[in-house]
Structures are given as structure tokens and as C-alpha cells.
Structure 1
Amino acid sequence: MRNQLIQSLLITGALALTACGGTETATAPDVPAETANPAAPETVAPETTDDHSAATKGGQVVETGAYHLELVPVPEADGIHLDLYLQTGDTHEAVTDATVVAQVQLPDGTQEALPMEYDAAGEHFFAFLPSQAAGEYKAVLQTDINGEKVNARFSFAK
């Protein structure tokens, strides 16, 4: 109910400002001060702190089942370095005992299968795609985690 009141006040205030063409802030005289402040910290904090699907390494994220997959493509002079952070969904603990293959479609339509190795120090899987072609790449990351198949689709450009 409180959120609906806040939304209603914000819309009414925005419409009033737009209609008047002014930049002054309008406040309703019979609205309590706590209701007039739409940016109260308690409404913002839960959305930002509980988002397990947010990228933590600067890549693209796919949440599937109990897993968090983040692909970070890094263009290099002679190809593209692919880093895959495979983690549990809630705690973001690294999954180390998986088999991962990146099926990549190059901009010209050709397919490349890249087995990914695990880097224990960096807590991620990696592979190198020897392609210098400019354009859009599409990748399907196929993982086998103790017999459980987990796949994710990504796209990136070079």
C-alpha cells in the first residue's frame, strides 16, 4: 500500500511539473514526510545486495538452475581468450570438478569446439579461440558437473 502511494505521488508530481513547465518541487501538504521521500535506503538496499545474477568479473552472466556462469571474452592480437567463471548460484563458490566445452560460432558461420581447462589459481575455466575475424560470435558453453548437464548461451563481438 505504501509503495502504491509513493508511486502515485511521484506520477502526480511529475505530471504537475511537466504541465507547469517548472522545475520547482511540489509536495502534498497532507503527506507525511517519510512518504514523500521515494529514495529511502530500505527500498534500495535489498535489490542491490541480493542480486546473485550480477556480473562480478565484468562479463555476461547466465543463471541456470543452481549455477552462475559468467563468460569474459578478452580480445587479443591473435584471437580471443575466453574465461568462464562457473559458480554455485547462491554462494558463488567456484565449481572445480566440471567438464566444459565452448561451442563457438564465428562471424563467418563456422563452428569451433574448444575444451576449457581449469585454472585453480584464478578459479575459472579458460580457452583460447584463434580467430581474428571481426563481428559477432555466438557461444554455447556445455558443462557436465558430476553428471548434471548445464548449458548457457552467450554472444560477444570482436
Structure 2
Amino acid sequence: MKSLKSGLIVLGTVGLLFLGACSNATQENNSASNTESSTATNTSKTETAKSHGKSEHGDKEHGHGGQVVESGQYHLELVTHKEDKGSHLDFIIEKGEKHEIVSNAKVTAQVQLPDGTQKTLDFKYDAKDKHYTAALPGNAPGQYPVKVTADIGGEKVNGRFTVKQ
């Protein structure tokens, strides 16, 4: 009788350990997929600019080949052109699903130079080409983090980009 009781206790204990191990594996799997899910979500929120040859809608007229940031209802795009004395920057702001050009914004950029110093650029609107332009002087090699701020009728819209020299 004692051996039967001992056998049942051992069998019950092994069963509980097995269930506990299965339960932990399920929690670890759920935890791992929740972590992957939240990492993917956080990545998309902190992602700043993507390079596109054309827009997500497949329209060549909306894609200018630059780095793109979607900020609320605004589509922001920074296109850079290397020149002898620096880079020429074109900044396009479009609003809504129809990508209507925004021409009444006050656009500035804070640029961090490779040596760590900050430079402020003021963009001017080019009515002919329907975008804002500025010049980034200097040819020091490296990455230039750029934070563009557009004030559109009192509404501030920001985009972060990187210019490589």
C-alpha cells in the first residue's frame, strides 16, 4: 500500500512538473512574440526617413527620389544633390491622400555637422518647382543628421533625415 501511495505521489509530481514546464514554454513563446510585436511597433514609431524612388502609391509625380517621412496628414520628402561647395536640399511638403502641395509653410532645419556643431538653415519656397530649397555648405565627409520643422499656419510638422557627404 505504501508503495502504491508513493507511486501515485511520484506520478502526480511528475505530471505537475510536466504541466508547469508546458505552461512556462507557452508563456515564454507568448512573451517572445509580444516582444517581437512590440519591437516591430517601436521600430516603426522611431523610424524617421526612408528612401523612395516613388511614393507608396506608385505615382511618379509624388515620388521625388528622396527620403520620406509621413507625419500625420503630411508627406515630407528631402532630396539632396551634391554640389562643389556642399549640398543643395529640396524639401517637399504634401498634404492629404491627394498629396496637395503645401506652399505657405515656414521651413527651417537644424543640421548637426560631422564635427558636432549645429547649423540652422532657412528654406525658401520655389514656386516654379513647387518645393522648398536650401543650401548646406561644406563638404566634410560623414553623416549630417537633419531635423526639419515646418510651420504650416501655426501647426508644427517635424521630420528627421540624414544627409551623407
Structure 1 length normalisation: TM-score?
A: 0.65
User: Which of 88, 105, 124 is the matching residue for 2:95?
Assistant: 88
Paired residues, number: 109
| Alignment-derived partner of residue 56 in structure 1 | 63
SS across alignment from 2:88: strand
| Alignment-derived partner of residue 122 in structure 1 | 129
| Alignment-derived partner of residue 77 in structure 1 | 84
Deviations 1:2-37 (A, max 9, x none): xxxxxxxxxxxxxxxxxxxxxxxxxxxxxxxxxxxx
User: Which of 106, 130, 151 is the matching residue for 1:144?
Assistant: 151
Could you tell me whether the CA contact under 8 Å between 1:142 and 1:149 is conserved in 2? Answer: yes
Q: Does 1:65 align with 2:72?
A: yes
User: Which of 91, 102, 111 is the matching residue for 1:104?
Assistant: 111
SS across alignment from 2:122: strand
- How far 1:156 moved relative to its partner? 2.1
Could you tell me whether the CA contact under 8 Å between 1:52 and 1:89 is conserved in 2? Answer: no
Q: Which has the higher helix share?
A: 2
- How far 1:53 moved relative to its partner? 9.3
Output the aligned Cα RMSD: 1.8
Change (3 A) 1:113 1:67: same
Aligned-partner Cα distance in 2 for 1:73–1:147: 27
- How far 1:89 moved relative to its partner? 3.5
Change (3 A) 1:144 1:52: farther
Aligned residue type for 2:95 = T
Which 4+ residue blocks in structure 1 deviate beyond 4 angstroms? 52-55
Aligned residue type for 1:51 = E
